[in-house]
Every structure is written in C-alpha cells, then in structure tokens.
A = this chain, B = another copy of it.
Amino acid sequence: MRRTLTVDDIDDLAIGAWIIGTGGGGNPYLNHLNVRNLMDDGRTFELISADELADDAQVAVLSTMGAPVVMQERLQDSRDVARAVEIMADHLGSSFDALMSTEIGGSNAFQPLMAAAHLDLPVVDADAMGRAYPEAQMTSFAIAGLQPWPLSLVDPRGVEAVITRVPTWKWMERASRVLTVETGSMAATCKAPRTGAEVKQWGVTGSMSFAIELGATVRRAQRHHEPPVEAVTKVAGGKVLFRGKIVDVERRTTGGFLRGRARLDGLEAWSGGGVELEFQNEWLVARLDGEVIATVPHLICLLDDESGEAVGTETARYGQRVALIAMTAPELFRSEAGLRYVGPRAMGYDFDPVDPLAPEAKA
C-alpha cells in the first residue's frame, strides 16, 4: 500500500495522534499547522506500508525529545528535523530510503512528515510505541533488544551531536535527555536507524493509518452530531472508565519532563466519586477513589466529552468536561520483556499493570 496523504488525512492525523498520545507526545496543533503550510507550498507526503520496505532498506526513526510545555512556546522548524536525518546519514556514510516516527502519539506523529518535506522520502505507516511514552527506551525496538545507537540530535540554536555508543537503551535516553534539557528542552532526534526487516518484524505497523482513521471517526461523529467518545471507543476497541470534570491540575517541568497529577470529579448523573490521574508527559496511572483502575502500558486517554478530541497533560485545565477511556496495549508491550520497559514498575510504581478491558478487571 502506498498513498499520497490528503489535507483531510493530515487533519485527521492531528486528532487521532493526539488521542493515542495518551495525554503526551506533545500537542500536535503547531506541527499540524506546520505540515499544512508545507502542503500549501506544494510539498506532498507519501505513506507506504511497512510491507513495501525491502529487507535491507534503511529507515530513519524520528522524534522530538523534550517537555511538551516547552514545545507549546518554542516553535519547531521542519528543517531542523530534516537536519537530524542528514547528520545521521553523514555519520553513517549512507543514505536513507524512508522515514518513520518513534512514537505515533501526539506531535511526534508529524516528525517524519516534517523531515519528508525537505528530503523527498516516503513515510512508513508504523512507529515503535503505538502511542506515546515518556522515555526514549520505551519502544518495541528496545524490547526486541535491537542496537540502541547511534542517535543524532539537533537543537534549534545549532547544537548538533551524535551519540555513537551506549551500554544500554536507558543510557541512550539519559545521554540524549541531558543534551535536550541543557539546550532548552526541545531537540529533534534521529534514533538508531532500522532496516526494513526490523521495521516489519518489530515496528507497530499500521499505526499512522490507524491514527488517521481514529481522527476521521471523531470528525465524522462531530459532523453528524453523534457522541464522539463512543465513536472513538468503538473504532479503537476502548472502554469509557469515567466521566466528569477536571477539578485540579498540578504540573511541573522537571528533568526534561512534564510531571504531575490531575483530579476529576464525577458529574451528578454519574455515581462514581473522584479519579486521580498521574502523568510523566503521558497519563500513566488512573485511580478511582484510591483504587488503581488503569495503568501503562495500556492506553489511558482523556477526551473532551463534547468534541471527542484529546485533552493533553499540558492542556488539561480546571472545569473541562471529560471522558476517561482506556485501550489495551499491543501484545509485545504486555509481554514480560515489554513490561520491563513500559510497565508500571518501569515508571517507578510498585504494582502490576492493570488493563480495565481484561476479563478479570474489576473496573
């Protein structure tokens, strides 16, 4: 499958990617406008399925690292994203055949498009998270044990670096994170390149077209005045956990991350009490009246109850009417190896994962 993305696709992607960003990955708003602008300038974007890749194809894997709050104020130049790919190609002494995103969630879904505008390369319909996760080692490629290096990094003011070797995936996260924080908490990165065979075996394939479909579903429901939250859970196989309004948000930008918690109170029509959501860029854990009802690696999404669009950890504010929904994570991330990277314990919690959609779940 190979197709040229339309303006509608791009608009749908902005909505869908923000939903499966699970609160993080950055608000796509600015990058969405950026890509719309590039389209107005005549750039076109080819989406190819992972199947189209030759086994020895070289794929550049892109994401912008940093704190979502910073990205709200510091605009990204698409040439910086392309520059990260060029630095990597220089370092390797070879060229790339395609581009893909590390994380389909949020703003990072647009990274390969921003680079493609300058590099004339197709974008692979895949990512390495199937959502957004806070840290760079929380990918299917890391879970698979693939090589974590090299990584190239570009900051808007012109600091450029290549991390050429690391002992572990976590060390790649640490080394690239401190450079990102020091240069202002926003840097375009090109992660360890992958072959076509690696993307086909270990990538979360079809995730970009899924995000586009999800966004199209929301827009269709909006147009037809149907309940958009239910449209989302239907197409995504998700479940509504709670409806209410945001009554408190604590947020701090620390160590290159946005951390904090949000509290939701139930509305009168809803019998439940209060929900607390904890986040590190993304929503990690949901508690209902103190009991854990959903955790990573499963997708915890907060949606505006009227529009069905995502409420992000950096945009959540007092008074918003929201629906809390959950979706089950892909199997690789639920495996024993996967949980070591993306389970609650990998994020500092002392409990097992909770999937509210699993048959044994109480919620």
Please list the residues of chain A having a beta carbon within 8 angstroms of any beta carbon in chain B.
87, 91, 157-167, 171, 174-175, 178-179, 181-183
Given A178-B178, A179-B175, A183-B175, residue A158 in contact with residue B164 (CB < 8 A)? no
Residues of B within 8 A of A160 (CB): 163-166
Q: What's the dominant secondary structure at chain A's contact region?
A: mixed
A179 to B171, CA, bound (A): 11
Q: Are B162 and A162 in contact, with the CB atoms below 8 A?
A: yes
Residues of B within 8 A of A165 (CB): 158-160
Q: How far is the CB of A88 from chain B (nearest CB, A)?
A: 11
A261 to B31, CA, bound (A): 49
Residues of B within 8 A of A167 (CB): 157-159
Q: How far is the CB of A156 from chain B (nearest CB, A)?
A: 10
Copies of this chain in the oligomer: 2
Q: Are B164 and A161 in contact, with the CB atoms below 8 A?
A: yes
Q: Are A161 and B158 in contact, with the CB atoms below 8 A?
A: no
- Give the residue of B91, B161, B181 whose beta carbon is less than 8 angstroms from that of A163: B161
- Give the residue of B158, B162, B171 whose beta carbon is less than 8 angstroms from that of A159: B171
Residues of B within 8 A of A87 (CB): 164
- Give the residue of B159, B161, B162, B178 whose beta carbon is less than 8 angstroms from that of A182: B178
Besides A87-B164, A157-B171, A178-B179, 9 more A-B contacts (Cβ < 8 Å) are A157-B167, A158-B165, A158-B166, A159-B171, A159-B175, A160-B165, A161-B161, A162-B162, A175-B182
Residues of B within 8 A of A182 (CB): 174-175, 178
A161 to B183, CA, bound (A): 16
Residues of B within 8 A of A166 (CB): 158-160
Closest 10 CB pairs of A and B: A160-B165, A178-B182, A158-B167, A178-B178, A161-B163, A160-B164, A162-B162, A159-B166, A159-B175, A157-B167
Q: How far is the CB of A196 from chain B (nearest CB, A)?
A: 26
A103 to B43, CA, bound (A): 51
Q: How far is the CB of A146 from chain B (nearest CB, A)?
A: 17
Q: Are A175 and B163 in contact, with the CB atoms below 8 A?
A: no
Residues of B within 8 A of A162 (CB): 91, 161-162, 164
A160 to B171, CA, bound (A): 10
- Of all chain B residues, the one with the shortest Cβ separation from A162 is B162
Residues of B within 8 A of A164 (CB): 87, 91, 160-162
Q: How far is the CB of A133 from chain B (nearest CB, A)?
A: 20
Residues of B within 8 A of A163 (CB): 159-161
Q: How far is the CB of A318 from chain B (nearest CB, A)?
A: 36
A74 to B174, CA, bound (A): 20
Q: How far is the CB of A217 from chain B (nearest CB, A)?
A: 43
Q: How far is the CB of A105 from chain B (nearest CB, A)?
A: 26
A91 to B174, CA, bound (A): 22
Q: How far is the CB of A174 from chain B (nearest CB, A)?
A: 6
- Give the residue of B159, B161, B178, B183 whose beta carbon is less than 8 angstroms from that of A181: B178
- Of all chain B residues, the one with the shortest Cβ separation from A177 is B182
A167 to B160, CA, bound (A): 9
* Sample of 19 A–B contacts (CB below 8 Å): A87-B164, A91-B162, A158-B166, A158-B171, A159-B166, A159-B167, A159-B171, A160-B166, A161-B161, A161-B162, A161-B164, A161-B175, A162-B162, A174-B182, A175-B179, A175-B183, A178-B178, A178-B182, A179-B179
